[in-house]
Amino acid sequence: MTSRRAPTLFNWAGSKARVAKTLGGLDLPRFETYHEPFLGSGAAFLELSSAGLISKSLLSDANPRLVNVFRAAQAQAHEVISGLRMHALLDSDVHFSAVLGRLNARPVDSAINCQAASDTIYLLSQSFHSTWYETRSGQVSMSRRRGVEVFRARHQDVVRAAALLQDATVECGDFRSALGRVSAGDLVFLDPPYLYGGDQVDQRSYNTDRFGVSDVQFLSTEMRRMDDLGAHVIFCWGERADAVVPNGGTWTEIGRDCVWLSESLR
């Protein structure tokens, strides 16, 4: 375990940095491959990797713009940093609006785009509560925080994240296909969008495809399959949900999150 602070590529509402830091202090067993199919800001991966607990990793998310940030940092960190330096020079309400417009006007594809990566990092840093919302038509809706400090590019965080990502596979894709690649002895970190009470779908979706009750049901079945397979599973949720997780295991509260660890991690 290293005491060095894990890098942060971008601000993110609901980041699991605190959860991952707590997990990094546990005596986790050795595992073959790390899987994170709801990557988000990548806080869990970056923290556990900084702690020396991760070597081979399969990282994915359904949001192509977020995945692009990781792939761009992984392949061309210096280009991403150049874009961030430009944002630091131009930061203003007008610039924020122009960058958001540029991001929405740009077609979303699988090619690495360093400008789009730096734009995404900048917008999340300066947006209200660092919240990302996509309409069903795929447009990103964000507003700039009032009284926000001038944007400062975190150059070293990009450099350090790039180093940690060198041995990782980063893909854009649905969590269903990602979970199909889990094998015995792997560690799976699951942080899906939260549903509360009678919610049928995530109303604050960061992707055009809303995460709903049927997805939770599929995830529950997959957790039981992976647990029976001999994989180690960590599941984060907004409240304790015994009906969703397999028998055994342990719930613990970390900040505002309820975190379930499979019995093999106890």
Domains of the chain: 17-63+164-265 (3.40.50.150), 67-159 (1.10.1020.10)
* Backbone angles phi and psi of 48, in degrees to 5: -70, -35
Work out the mean pLDDT of the chain and round it to a whole number. 91
225-258 pLDDT, tens per residue? 999 999 999 999 999 999 999 999 999 999 889 9
| CA 71 – CA 114 distance, rounded (Å) | 9
Lowest mean pLDDT: which of 49-63, 122-136, 198-212, 223-237? 198-212
**Residue 221: pLDDT above 80?**
yes
| CA 180 – CA 208 distance, rounded (Å) | 23
Residue 257's nearest CA partner among 17, 97, 3 is 17
